[in-house]
Structure 1
Amino acid sequence: MRTVWLWTAVIFVLDQLSKIWVVHVMDLATKLSIDVWPPFLNFRMAWNYGINFGLLAGDAPATRWILISVAIGIVLFVLVWMRRDPPGRAGLVFAGLLIGGALGNVVDRLLYGAVADFLNMSCCGFDNPFAFNVADIAIFVGAIGLALFPGSKNAS
């Protein structure tokens, strides 16, 4: 479980520091847009009140607390799974990525009422209208990793 906690901490800190830096220090919350390396990487401020791609978006307090509860439920489920039936080291890393990302987005919902998304990437004539954050990347990689590459049993 140390591996899970280590990666949870790494992702959580990286996510929160990136949000503090970009949203507050670089003042993206006010500027709303910063071109970093157009069109490949841009910062576009997006307060996400829903889940991925704005699904289930609503500014209602009930939506916020339901999404916080679902995220905490998923974190607890993954922790119990890792404790009861630990996969290989790779599976523990993927679990840490997923948990760290989920907790990073929970903190956003608690602090701001929404998740701070700011990364926007486009390429090759495709103009991506969506923004995401480090936590979203970690959740995606962690979930795919747990589904496809759980690793061998009996890891430390």
Structure 2
Amino acid sequence: MATVKKTVFTLKRSASIVPWLGIAALVILLDQLSKITIAKTFAYGQSKTLTSFFNLVLAYNKGAAFSFLAAEGGWQRWLFSAIALGAALFILFLLKRHAGQRLFCTALALVLGGALGNLIDRVIYGHVIDFLDFHVGGWHWPAFNIADSAICIGAALFIIDELRRVNR
């Protein structure tokens, strides 16, 4: 009887990663659908003003955040792909290990989905498709996408989770 209970407990524990993978999959799906839609609707560099502070634009980023290393010769594509893959594997390990920590795992799932969304772009196109362009006056933030947004929200949730943990 004790063996049966232990097996059931193990199965429940390993299955608890599923909701977090579902969040990551949803981020990837929304990210890829939005990028495909923009890529089919816009020409490279084309912009459409939606409000006084927001445009849609088709931009390509061969670098990392804020176009870091974008002007390099192409090696950065593989470096950032390897980093994303390594991060994804580490996040999967953390999700499995801490599956019961809701806020922490939500943050991990958002980062995982964002990293894999941008990894898909790097592998298929050689660059990341960005299209969200916010601006104030003549100043523009670098264009970004849903994957980038998920990563930023995940990072903010990490900070909140850590602050909550420290205050306990």
Q: TM-score range, shorter-chain basis?
A: 0.7 to 0.9
CA contact (8 A) 1:3 1:89 kept: no
5 Å matches for 1:119-130? 119-123=132-136, 125=137, 127-130=139-142
Structure 1, unaligned runs of 5 or more: none
Alignment of 1:137 with 2:149, yes or no, is yes
Q: Give every structure 1 segment of 4 or more consecutive aligned residues whose post-TM-superposition deviation is greater than 6 Å.
A: none
Alignment of 1:69 with 2:55, yes or no, is no
Specify the alignment match of 1:18 in structure 2.
Answer: 34
Specify the alignment match of 1:146 in structure 2.
Answer: 158
Q: CA separation of 1:2/1:127 partners in 2, compared to 1, >3 Å: closer, same or farther?
A: same
Q: Deviation digits for residues 53-108 of structure 1, max 9, x if unmatched?
A: 11121353321111100011111111112222345212211111111111110111
- Deviation of 1:148 after TM superposition, in Å, equals 2.9
Residue in structure 2 matching 1:97, options 87, 97, 110: 110
Q: Give TM-score, length-normalised by structure 2.
A: 0.79
Q: Give TM-score, length-normalised by structure 1.
A: 0.85
Structure 2, unaligned runs of 5 or more: 1-16
Q: SS at 1:96's partner residue?
A: helix
- Deviation of 1:127 after TM superposition, in Å, equals 2.2
Residue in structure 2 matching 1:36, options 31, 50, 55: 50
Q: Look up the equivalent residue of 1:54 and give its one-letter code.
A: S
Specify the alignment match of 2:124 in structure 1.
Answer: 111
Q: Look up the equivalent residue of 1:29 and give its one-letter code.
A: A
Q: Look up the equivalent residue of 1:23 and give its one-letter code.
A: A
**What is the aligned-residue RMSD (CA, Å)?**
2.0
Q: Look up the equivalent residue of 1:8 and give its one-letter code.
A: A
CA contact (8 A) 2:44 2:59 kept: no
Q: SS at 2:48's partner residue?
A: strand
Q: SS at 1:132's partner residue?
A: coil
Q: Which has the higher contact order (CA 8 A, sep 6+)?
A: 1
Q: Which has the larger radius of gyration?
A: 2
